Amino acid sequence: DADVTQTPRNRITKTGKRIMLECSQTKGHDRMYWYRQDPGLGLRLIYYSFDVKDINKGEISDGYSVSRQAQAKFSLSLESAIPNQTALYFCATSDPGQGATGANVLTFGAGSRLTVL
């Protein structure tokens, strides 16, 4: 099994629908992230969580919400999807580790491709 699992892997939906993307991890990491990838724009951070009670907005949080249900689970919701939210979404985890060498290396899921019509 993958260390970071995202579901669904592909989803097509219509404008105005509510969508949830789920992420679960077996790494035992406290830190979890949601990024979206768009061609030519790289990865942009949507939300991140450093532990179950800590949720932070990233660069582009408008139109999104998250829930950290447990250390291992971090879900991303689009309350009312719009076409410009069509993108590839990645969940990632990290552990700062001990000392400088831990340095927050990210482990990524395989991605969830969302298309909003």
Partner 1 sequence: AQSVTQLGSHVSVSEGALVLLRCNYSSSVPPYLFWYVQYPNQGLQLLLKYTSAATLVKGINGFEAEFKKSETSFHLTKPSAHMSDAAEYFCAVIGNRDDKIIFGKGTRLHILP
Which is it for strands 112-116 and 10-13: parallel, antiparallel or unpaired? parallel
Pick between residue 33 and residue 74 the one whose CB is nearest to partner 1.
Answer: 33
**96 vs 116: CA distance, rounded Å:** 35
What does residue 84 show for φ and ψ, rounded to 5 degrees?
A: -80, 5
Q: Work out whether 106 is an interface residue with partner 1 (CB under 8 A).
A: yes
Kindly state whether residue 45 participates in binding partner 1, applying the rule CB under 8 A: yes
Six token digits for residue 96? 């700062």
- Give the number of other CB atoms < 10 A from CB of residue 98: 7
Q: Which of 56, 69, 79, 82 binds partner 1 (CB under 8 A)?
A: 56
Q: Which stretch binds partner 1 (CB under 8 A): 18-26, 64-72, 73-81, 86-94?
A: 86-94
**Site residues (CB under 8 A) for partner 1?**
4, 33, 35, 40-45, 48, 50, 56, 58, 90, 92, 94, 96, 100-106, 108-111
